[in-house]
Amino acid sequence: MAAQDPTRPRAPEPVPARRLFGTDGVRGLANAELTVELALALASAAAEVLVPAGGAGRGVAVLGRDPRASGEMLAAAVTAGLTAAGVDVLDAGVLPTPAVAHLVGAVGADLGVMISASHNAMPDNGIKLFAAGGHKLDDAAEDQVEACLGSGSRRPTGAGVGRVRTLDGAAGTYLAHLAVASPERLDGLRVVVDCAHGAASSVAPAAYRAAGAEVVELHADPDGLNINDGCGSTHPEDLQAAVLAHGADLGIAHDGDADRCLAVDAAGTLVDGDGIMAVLALAMHEAGELAGDTLVTTVMSNLGLHLAMRQAGIEVRTTGVGDRYLLEELRAGGYSLGGEQSGHVVLPRHATTGDGVLTALRLMTRVATTGTALHELVSVVRTLPQVLINVRVTDKAAVAVDPSVLGGVAQAEAELGGAGRVLLRPSGTEQLVRVMVEAPTAESAQHLAQRLAGLVGSV
């Protein structure tokens, strides 16, 4: 994928034909849109596509989930679908998404299944699939899985039926991996970690303490119902207050499945994925670890990140939104760092997908080893005012071709005169269109974004 000019204003992105898979697996309201029947069928279809036919022995799958209540129900359905197709299931229990991805490779499994709706509210849930090695599926593989739904061609009997066992030591295996991927000590660093009552509630504090940090835990008591409820990466207010109250050096906010993280500096100021990527990119650039002196990010990253990287001699390549698109570009170019403004950061040398705990360890390492406060490290990025408005719609496809919306985008681009950006992007998992405007002033960005959001909402 060729590098794109981030200064060029963008019209609405096209909406692809509706498919079961969104930008990050299959997601929906649990027991309504995402039913046990669908979960069972997906698991069977995944076995059909991802487990080689006629191989020696049965296939093996690693299964994990976040702590939301519906995960228990869906895990049972996925387990039934896999075992009915002759696949043995290694149940890793409640673990972050990147831990499940790592375990797929570590145990040599044929596939992995993570049951999570990430940052979504508790009533939602989702199913994420990993191929051998812990890699997310590309569009072609997802289409194959979708095409196999309901086929049920693999139905062994007797000893051919899959078995289920607990994957003992799963959390310990993941923590040992993190210690190798980020071995530097964090002694003397005080961090507050908001676990969003999610999958990171045990392993994130354990990983940070193992590295020597003094850890204050926040929202780390999941009960199945409180995941992401006013906390975590989508609601950092409690974290910001706690960092100030405890005099911490920084704070870390995870989402429900801990594949992302955001940060808070010692003054309580939020640091998004752009800031985190800038810190990591410069550290890797200095150490000669930034392959091709290139950072891969998405169209949502702020112009300020592009300008900071350009000044440091680092190229920025852009992709569509979604960490699997980042992964495709990272693998194609052999690059070593990519990420999203939302806090998904991918370090391909150590992880096959975004890993919020590993990202946080690397970020804290930079603070600890340089003795430089986080706010100083991120000050290299002069963020252009950006406004993002999520507009709920009835038909994302209609918005992309509506004359009033297209005309509104053209008018906003003319008013910006090349000094900002306009991006209208349909959500991959919900009936939402995200309206993003960057402009020289916050007032201008807010005005244009609200005007465009009104046009989108009227379609």
Kindly list the domain boundaries of the chain, sorted by start residue.
31-168, 173-380, 386-457
CB burial readout 145-179, b (16+ within 10 A) else e: beebeeeeebeeeeeeebeeeebeebbebbbebbe
Query: For the residues 29-39, what does the mean pLDDT come to?
Result: 97
Least confident of 11-25, 50-64, 211-225, 370-384: 11-25
pLDDT of 247-259, one tens digit each?
A: 999 999 999 999 9
Over 90: is that where the pLDDT of 5 sits?
no
For residue 16, what pLDDT is reported?
A: 39
CA distance 277 to 219: 25
Q: Are 19 and 146 in contact (CB under 8 A)?
A: yes
Q: List residues with catalytic annotation.
A: 118
Whether pLDDT at 199 is above 70: yes
- Count of beta carbons in the 10 Å neighbourhood of residue 1: 13
Q: How confident is the model at residue 146 (pLDDT cuts 50, 70, 90)?
A: very high
d(CA 116, CA 73): 12
Q: Is the dihedral of CA 70, 71, 72, 74 positive or negative?
A: positive
β-pairing verdict for 124-131 and 26-29: antiparallel
DSSP 112-136: EEEE--TTS-TTEEEEEEEETTTEE
Token pair for 130? 């990993």
When mean pLDDT is compared across 1-15, 69-83, 126-140, 240-254, the lowest value belongs to 1-15
Mean pLDDT, rounded, for 120-138: 96
Residue ranges at the known binding site: 118, 255, 257, 259
Under a CB-based contact definition with an 8 Å cutoff, are residues 195 and 232 in contact? yes
Q: For the ranges 319-323, 338-342, 454-458, which has the lowest average pLDDT?
A: 319-323
Give per-residue pLDDT as tens, 297-306: 998 899 889 9
Cα 44 to the chain's mean position, in Å?
Answer: 25
Q: Tell the burial category of 433 from Cβ atoms under 10 Å away from its Cβ (0-12, 13-18, 19+).
A: buried
In this prediction, residue 429 carries a pLDDT of 67
Q: Is 431 helix (H, G, I), strand (E, B) or coil?
A: coil
Residue 171 token pair: 């959390």
- Parallel, antiparallel or unpaired: strands 261-265 and 250-254: antiparallel
Question: What local confidence, expressed as pLDDT, does residue 13 receive?
Answer: 43
pLDDT in tens, 323-348: 778 888 999 999 999 999 999 999 99
Same CATH fold, 173-380 and 31-168? yes
What confidence tens digit (pLDDT) does each residue in 411-427 have? 999 999 877 889 998 88
User: 139 to each of 98, 143, 311, how far by Cα in Å?
Assistant: 20, 6, 35
Q: Which residue has the higher pLDDT, 294 or 321?
A: 294
Residue 165 has what pLDDT?
97
Q: What is the mean pLDDT of residues 132-142?
A: 93
How distant is the alpha carbon of residue 176 from its chain centre? 22
Give pLDDT tens digits for 148-163.
Answer: 998 767 889 999 999 9
Alpha-carbon distance of 63 to 95, in angstroms, equals 10
How many other C-beta atoms lie within 10 A of the C-beta of residue 5?
7
Report the pLDDT value the prediction gives residue 2, as an integer from 0 to 100: 42
C-alpha R_g of the chain: 22
Residue 195 in contact with residue 175, Cβ under 8 Å? no
Taken as a whole, the chain contains a residue count of 459
Ranges 187-196, 352-361, 379-388: which has the least confidence: 379-388
Res 129 pLDDT > 90: yes
136 vs 359: CA distance, rounded Å: 19
Determine the pLDDT at residue 55.
Answer: 62
Domain 173-380 adopts which CATH fold?
Alpha-D-Glucose-1,6-Bisphosphate; Chain A, domain 3 (3.40.120)
* 10, pLDDT greater than 70: no
Concatenate the DSSP letters of all residues of 330-343 into one string. HHHHT-S-EE-TTS
> Which class does domain 386-457 fall in?
alpha beta
DSSP H stretches of helix in 57-169? 70-84, 97-107, 139-147
* Residue 29 · residue 59 · CB < 8 Å: no
Please state which of the four CATH numbers 3.40.630.10, 3.40.120.10, 3.40.190.10, 3.20.20.70 is assigned to the domain occupying 31-168.
3.40.120.10
The C-alpha atoms of residue 326 and residue 319 are separated, in whole angstroms, by: 6
What pLDDT sits at residue 419? 79
What do you get for the CA distance between the two ends of the chain, in Å? 32
Report the pLDDT value the prediction gives residue 56, as an integer from 0 to 100. 61
Q: Collapsing DSSP states into helix, strand and coil, what is residue 62? A: strand
Per the annotation, binding residues for Mg(2+) are 118, 255, 257, 259
Q: Which amino acid is at 334?
A: G
Check if the beta carbon of residue 64 is closer than 8 Å to that of residue 93: yes
For residue 192, list its beta bridge partners.
Answer: 216, 251
Query: For residue 376, what are the contacts with CB-CB under 8 A and spacing of at least 6?
Result: none
What is the mean pLDDT of the segment spanning 8-37? 74
343-373 confidence digits (pLDDT tens): 999 999 999 999 999 999 999 999 999 999 9
CA distance 101 to 170: 12
Q: pLDDT digits over 55-107, tens only?
A: 666 899 999 999 999 999 999 999 999 999 999 999 999 999 999 999 999 99
What is the percent of the chain with per-residue pLDDT over 90, rounded to a whole number? 83
